[in-house]
Chain A
Amino acid sequence: MSFRRINDDILGGLETPGLAYFAGVGLALAVLALALYAFWYQVEVGLGVAGYQPPVLWAVYITNFVFWVGITHSGTLVSAVLYLCRARWRTGIARASEAMTVFAIMTAGLFPIIHLGRPWFFYWLFPYPNQRQLWVNFKSPLIWDVRRSSGTSSRSAAT
């Protein structure tokens, strides 16, 4: 690894990126557009398009949610273990894992909404004061999921 190479790598971030980068961004945007269209289609037509087969009522969306939450936890765990062990070389790794955690929890937070039958009412899962004096059912494990996704995980990742 020459100094020239290190120079180029660091300064490269300040220059206009090349074609490969834009091609990559274009591909990512295309996939995002497809995902948005798919989600719109599902909201428009109904969850039936997701291929559920009763008596199985929870399928890939919840599975995905758990997967991404798992990644979140792994990031937090790595960071915490490194801190407890006072590893002096933990900075770079911790930075990467915490960045991964933050993005993973944001991804995970999407899935309960995608999974809902009426996602336009997703905000009913949050205990906000309203004139109907309705609160959420704190006994329900799903609310614990919501609490965890919206609050705890994000906060712990940010520290």
Chain B
Amino acid sequence: MSLLDAGNNGPLVERVGRRTFLKLLGAAAPAVAASACSPIPPERIIPYVIPPEDEVPGVATWYATSCRECPAGCGMAVRTLDGRAVKVEGNRDHPVNQGRLCIRGQAALQGLYNPDRIRGARRREVMNAAAGQSRLTPVPWEDALAALTDRLRMARQDGRANRIVIVTPLLTASLDRLFDAWAKALGARRLRYEPFAYEAFRAASRICFGRDGVPHYELARADVLVSFGADFLETWLSTVEHSGGFAQARRLRDGRKSRFIHVEPRLSLTASNADEWLASRPGTEILVALAMVHVILAEGRSQTIPAAEVTTIRNLVAPFAPDAVAGRTGIPAQTITNLARLFSDPQAGPGRSLAIGGGVAASGSNATGTQVAVHLLNYVAGNVGTTAQFGPDASYGRASTYRDMADLVASMRAGEVEVLVTYEVNPVFTLPGALGFDAALGRVPFVASFSNALDETTARAHLVLPTHSPLESWGDVEPRAGVRGLMQPVMEPLFDSRHVGDMLLDVGRRLGGDVSAALPSGDFYKYLGSQWQALHSQAKSAASFDDFWAEALGRGGMWSAIAAEKVTLSAGIAASSFVTAELGGTAGAPVLMPYPSLHFYDGRGANRSWLQEIPDPVTKAAWSSWAEVHPDTAKALGAKDGLLVTVESDHGKLDVPLLVNAHLTPGVVAIPIGQGHREYGRYAAGRGVNPIVLIDPAPEALSGGARWLSVRVRVTPRALRRPVPRLQASEQQFDSGVAQVVSLADLNAGRLEAPEPHRSLYADHKHPAHRWGMAIDLDTCTGCNACVAACYAENNVPVVGAEAMYRNRTMAWLRIERFVEPSAEGSGTRFIPMLCQHCDHAPCETVCPVYATYHSDEGLNAQVYNRCVGTRYCGNNCPYRVRRFNWFEPDFPDPLHLQLNPDVTARSVGVMEKCTFCVQRIQAGKRQAKDENRPVKDGDVVPACAQTCPGQAIVFGDLNDPQSRVSQLGKEARGYHVFGELNTRPAIMYLKKIVSPPGAGTNRT
């Protein structure tokens, strides 16, 4: 029976027939496929009908403001496009940071655009009083402010003072004055609480020189820098300023280099950059400093101090000869003697060296003693007044002490506090758990929090009044005497928040009566203006106030040089006694050493995803906490790397993965501070551990500071493995020659390897116009990760999260590789920023099947995202492993997507990406030059990484221009190409790190 016979009557399958079936199949399949591949719906872009006056779409507006990510107060220049801040850079004119920013500064944008910012005022609503259930519910601003006003009024009614307590961070200048005025008007007590408040420093200054204050240090002038735990590249005082000064001091001058010796139990980032790291036993650094003073005086090396003082100090340090202290510190006596001789050399003259103390070395019960020793060391070497200057004192001198907070807790517990007002502080997290702030908070009837992040303290408040982030605020910042930086809003407030100053004035007005009369009228902006009018009159400027104000805003503030003051040794010094740190707990047990984190500072940075994602510069771990122990300690505990251990002190307990680190004094458990939040947003909450819960709550006797180094702990291995995601599996190079060094002797003698010869089967690429290249000085790179964060910000690099980190799927275009290598020349840690080398003979270009990567005629290896099919052959072929693949669709949770740079393509799933030498900035530089009818000159194009490096280690420019800085650096004898023997001909020249031999018998870094 033929199919043609079926006609209209027969079973369906026969009526349809084979040919019709195939025709339908042939038509249906592509139709289905086409419908499945629906195009992305078009977005309608509506241009401005009436555009804002100073906004040209696509042209950025830059605002000068100040960074508030830590109290250092660097100046910031914020790039805004279409009314959105997209990138922050340092303010070139600002004396503190001189145009550079650290990793925390670069991540400031993530504070502004944090998805977990509190939007709108909140009030605590009790759902079930018996069960203690309550939650924060949104309320209108009017109600919230009225509620606060009412409680304050009630608290003042009986006339007792100090029923109201206000806790702010260390504020300066106008806002600080306003808070003081407000507190005074209310009869309230005010605390300026900083977890790292340098109390020991100030107590030591009082004891030594009879004046409170944290001096100003000029690292750039020090030929010999000795740091006792002071992590000036991480969190100590003013990190960008000191990184810059350090980089300057380390430049080769007349064939000689300065020396930097770091004394602390752990090879921190700062210690990694030292010529010698002396691994001290925790809490014994004081003895090293005193022994150095002893040697300096015994050998007559003291400089510029009168004989009477020499005698006083000599008597003071008599018991601390190097031989006497060597056993207790773990550092050989000869090392200490050599160090002392290096430190104070009468032939070199006074003021050529600098001793600094802080960090883990000045955090025990002897913190003040340690700082006194450091002050004495500077004093006898004649450094006070030159490299260590009193006069331009840091603002830390005005912070409250930890003891003040402990007293507050006692008041709270006693029921003396009726209203507690907090502003941007998180004592529930940063105070030791055993102090009992958390429990005492329960005894305060009303807690109001001016904060825009739901941290642990704000989560306990009865009233939350969200404040503007610093990038949305007016204000001024005085990090040290003589520097008055301005803050201005760079965009309209993103969410429903208000300026804290405005709220203070508003509440003051509502309270009426004498409170309102005591406070200035108007809003905070008007108050700021009035403060600056006073400055204007003082400056006796010829310009009108409006011109003066506009100029100051454009510049970013006002700075004046403050002369160093003469200080003399105080008589009280003779009464000092010096001891090593006392440690609670069982003798012989490991010592807990919490250390401040470069990324999170005191924990405030934990809610910024870049700071979590970018690996810690020393351990290369991300998104986690860990406990570092020496291999011997681990063996004694019976634990291996990655094992979960319980760390328990007399005051608290926590579970943390173990990380075996050979560069640590045995018998120490080092845990970074900053993680372990219970609240504080999606990136921070429930992640890691907070070692502050373990420490002893009793303050240090002399200074009232917190004693981070105070307990010995019991470490118990558990039966669980929780390895920490680490982005660099090994710290050894295995002779691959990635990060190379040259000894100072060889460099001076000209004994350097010649670069590899060039050979090629193909004709060379021609670069008629420009040829972009880079020079990276490994001698200057400190491994601080600032460039990595800048790259994330500039190039829309997505954050992949902790899970992906376990699979090494970081998207960072730029990474800092860290290698540790002991060798005869005393070289130790080497940091090398690794990014796309833009090779002239790129292995990746040959193998891409679709030509998605090609070599531009300006020397760039370009990646065409919309051509990439995702074969990932290029990534396999890259010897530098700098290519990144988008395994998933990048996620920028609202409002982090507002931070995206519109000049840079946002990549989608399935395409490869890598460093582009900031091609958008290259194009912008060329456009600018073309508009101005001139050739592109050196310095017109600065990629994000080069722009922010505090040490100026990265230099970018046109290799076709023989006068450009990058060409000249490329000709230096120290230059080499990484994997040059592979004949990739990279566009990046690395300059070998210069190592000088260690002194006799010292530990190598």
Q: Does A53 contact B (CB under 8 A)?
A: yes
Q: Mark B841-873, 1 if CB is under 8 A from A, else 0.
A: 000001111110000000000000001111111
Interface string of A42-69 (1 = CB under 8 A from B): 0001111001111101100000000000
Closest CB in chain B relative to A70 CB, distance in Å: 20
A128 at the interface (CB under 8 A from B): no
Known: A55-B808, A120-B37. A137 touches B851 (CB 8 A): yes
Q: Establish whether residues A116 and B807, one from each chain, have CB atoms under 8 Å apart when the complex forms.
A: no
User: Contact between B809 and A136 (Cβ–Cβ < 8 Å)?
Assistant: no
B885 near A57 with CB under 8 A, answer yes
Contact A54 B885 (CB under 8 A): yes
Residues of A within 8 A of B848 (CB): 137, 140
**Cβ contacts under 8 Å, B886 to chain A:** 46, 117
Of A9-17, A79-87, A97-105, A141-149, the one touching chain B: A141-149
Smallest Cβ distance from A65 to chain B, in angstroms?
Answer: 12
CB of B938 to closest CB in A, whole Å: 35
Are A117 and B850 in touch, CB under 8 angstroms?
A: no
Q: Is the CB of B888 within 8 A of A48?
A: yes
Separation in Å of the B801 CB from the closest CB of chain A? 11
How many A residues touch B, CB cutoff 8 Å?
A: 32
Shortest beta-carbon distance, A61 to chain B, in Å? 10
Contact between B867 and A142 (Cβ–Cβ < 8 Å)? no
Whether A124 contacts B807 by the Cβ 8 Å rule is no
Residue B909 at the A interface, CB < 8 A?
A: yes
How many angstroms between the C-alpha atoms of A94 and B814 in the bound complex?
A: 55
A82 to chain B, nearest CB (A): 35
Q: Is residue B804 contacting chain A, with contact meaning CB distance below 8 A? A: yes
Given A46-B910, A47-B887, A118-B869, residue A57 in contact with residue B875 (CB < 8 A): yes
Q: Are A141 and B867 in contact (CB under 8 A)?
A: no
**Is A39 among interface residues, defined by CB-CB distance under 8 A?**
no
A55 and B881 form a contact (CB under 8 A): yes
A77 adjacent to chain B (CB < 8 Å)? no
Q: How far is the CB of A52 from chain B (nearest CB, A)?
A: 7
B183 contacts partner chain A, Cβ-Cβ < 8 Å: no
The distance in angstroms between the C-alpha atoms of A55 and B885, with both chains bound, is 10
- Within 8 Å CB of B851, what residues of A? 134-137
User: Do residues B869 and A51 form an inter-chain contact, with CB atoms below 8 A?
Assistant: no
Cβ-defined contact, B888 with A143, below 8 A: no
- For B807, the chain A residues whose CB sits under 8 A away are 51-54
Q: Mark A120-159, 1 if CB is under 8 A from B, else 0.
A: 1110110000000011110111110010000000000000
A48, B804: Cα distance in complex, Å:
9
B849–A125 touching, CB < 8 Å: yes
Task: For A45, give its contact among B37, B867, B881, B888 (CB under 8 Å).
Answer: B888
Whole-angstrom CA separation of A141 from B810 in the bound complex = 27
- How far is A139 from B851 in the complex, measured between Cα atoms in Å? 10
Cα separation A86 to B809 with both chains bound (whole Å): 55
Distance, CA A38 to CA B426, complexed state (A): 47
Tell whether, in the assembled complex, residue A117 and residue B849 are in contact, meaning their CB atoms are under 8 Å apart.
no
B867 contacts A57, CB within 8 Å?
A: no
Q: Is B876 an interface residue (CB 8 A)?
A: yes
- Interface presence of B889 (CB below 8 A): yes
How far, in Å, is A62 (CB) from chain B's closest CB?
Answer: 9
Answer whether A121 and B888 are a contact pair too, CB < 8 Å, given A46-B909, A137-B849.
no
Please give, as numbers and ranges, the residues of chain A lying within 8 Å of B374 by CB-CB distance.
none
Residue from B37, B849, B888, B889 with most neighbouring chain A CB atoms (10 Å): B849
Say yes or no for B144: interface residue by CB 8 A criterion: no
Complex Cα distance, B172 from A16, in Å, reads: 92
Q: Is the CB of B846 within 8 A of A139?
A: yes
B911 at the binding interface (Cβ < 8 Å): yes
Q: Inside 8 A of A119's CB, which chain B residues have their CB?
A: 869-870
Minimum Cβ distance to chain A for residue B279 (Å): 33
Residue tally, chain B, CB below 8 Å to A: 32
- Chain A residues with Cβ under 8 A from B873's Cβ? 58, 140-142
Query: Do A141 and B847 touch across chains, with their CB atoms under 8 A apart?
Result: yes
Determine if B872 and A58 form an interchain contact, defined as CB atoms under 8 angstroms apart.
yes
- B-contacting residues, A26-50, CB 8 Å: 45-48
- Do residues B869 and A124 form an inter-chain contact, with CB atoms below 8 A? yes
Among B807, B872, B911, the most chain A Cβ lie within 10 Å of the Cβ of B872
Are A47's CB and B910's CB within 8 A? Answer: yes
Does the CB pair A140–B846 fall under 8 Å? yes
Report how far A109 CA is from B393 CA in the complex, Å. Answer: 72
Report whether B888 and A117 are in contact in the complex, using a CB–CB cutoff of 8 Å.
no
Partner of B872 from A45, A57, A124, A125 at Cβ < 8 Å: A57
Given A51-B807, A122-B869, A46:B889 Cβ within 8 A: yes
| Known contacts A46-B889, A120-B37, A137-B848, A54 near B869 by CB under 8 Å | no
What B residues does A112 contact at CB under 8 A?
Answer: 871
- Chain A residues, CB < 8 A from B810: 54
Docked Cα-Cα span, A55 to B807, in Å, equals 9
Chain B: minimal CB distance from A63 (Å): 13
Cβ contact within 8 Å between A118 and B870:
yes
Residues 806-835 of B, flagged 1 when their CB comes within 8 A of A and 0 if not, give 011110000000000000000000000000
User: Residues of B contacting A125 with CB < 8 Å?
Assistant: 849-850, 869
Distance, CA A143 to CA B849, complexed state (A): 6
Nearest CB in chain A: distance from B763 CB, A: 14
Contacts of B846 in A (CB 8 A): 137, 139-140
A142 and B909 contact, Cβ closer than 8 Å, known pairs A117-B886, A124-B850: no
The distance in angstroms between the C-alpha atoms of A142 and B848, with both chains bound, is 8
Residues of A near B868 (CB, < 8 A) are 117-118
Candidate in B808, B846, B868, B887 with the most chain A CB atoms within 10 angstroms: B887
Given contacts A46-B888, A47-B887, whether A140 and B849 have CB atoms under 8 Å apart is yes
* List of A residues within 8 angstroms of B804 by Cβ: 48
**In contact, B911 and A136 (Cβ under 8 angstroms):** no
Q: Is the CB of A54 within 8 A of B909?
A: no
Chain B residues with CB under 8 Å of A120's CB are 37
On whether A52 and B869 interact (CB within 8 A), knowing A136-B851, A139-B846, A140-B848, the answer reads no
CA distance A119 to B33 in the complex (A): 13
**A118: B residues at CB distance < 8 A:** 868-870, 909-911
**Chain A residue with the shortest CB-CB distance to B908:** A118
Contacts of A140 in B (CB 8 A): 846-849, 873
Q: Which residue of A lies closest to B800 (CB)?
A: A48
Pair B869/A121 contact, Cβ less than 8 Å: yes
| Inter-chain contacts of A122 with B (CB < 8 A) | 869
Q: Which of B849, B881, B887 contacts A142 (CB 8 A)?
A: B849
Given A53-B807, A142-B871, answer yes or no on A58-B850 (Cβ-Cβ < 8 Å): no
Contact between B887 and A116, CB atoms less than 8 A apart: no
Q: List residues of chain A with CB within 8 A of the CB of B849.
A: 125, 136-137, 140, 142-143, 146
Q: Contact flags (1/0) for A73-93 with B, using CB distance below 8 Å?
A: 000000000000000000000
Question: Distance (Å) between the CB of B487 and the closest chain A CB?
Answer: 41
Select B869's contact among A55, A58, A116, A139, beta carbons within 8 Å: A116
A124 to chain B, nearest CB (A): 5
Whether A116 and B850, one on each chain, are in contact in the complex, defined by CB atoms closer than 8 angstroms, is no
A136-B850 CB under 8 A given contacts A46-B888, A118-B911: yes
What B residues does A137 contact at CB under 8 A? 846-851
**Chain B residues positioned under 8 Å from A134 (CB to CB):** 850-851, 867
B871 and A124 within 8 A (CB): no
Residue in B closest to A144 when the chains form the complex, CB atoms: B849
Establish whether residues A117 and B37, one from each chain, have CB atoms under 8 Å apart when the complex forms: no
Chain A residue numbers with a CB within 8 Å of B876 are: 57-58
> How far is A137 from B853 in the complex, measured between Cα atoms in Å?
10
Report the 6 A-B pairs with minimum CB-CB distance, sorted nearest first.
A117-B870, A117-B910, A48-B887, A118-B910, A46-B888, A57-B872
Please name 18 further chain A to chain B contacts, defined as beta carbons within 8 Å, in addition to the given A136-B851, A140-B846, sorted by A numbering.
A45-B888, A46-B887, A47-B910, A54-B885, A117-B868, A118-B868, A118-B870, A118-B909, A122-B869, A124-B867, A125-B849, A136-B850, A137-B847, A137-B850, A141-B847, A142-B849, A142-B873, A143-B849
* Sampled A-B contacts (10; CB under 8 Å): A46-B909, A51-B807, A55-B875, A58-B876, A112-B871, A120-B37, A124-B867, A125-B869, A136-B849, A137-B847
A interface residues, Cβ below 8 angstroms from B: 45-48, 51-55, 57-58, 112, 115-122, 124-125, 134-137, 139-143, 146
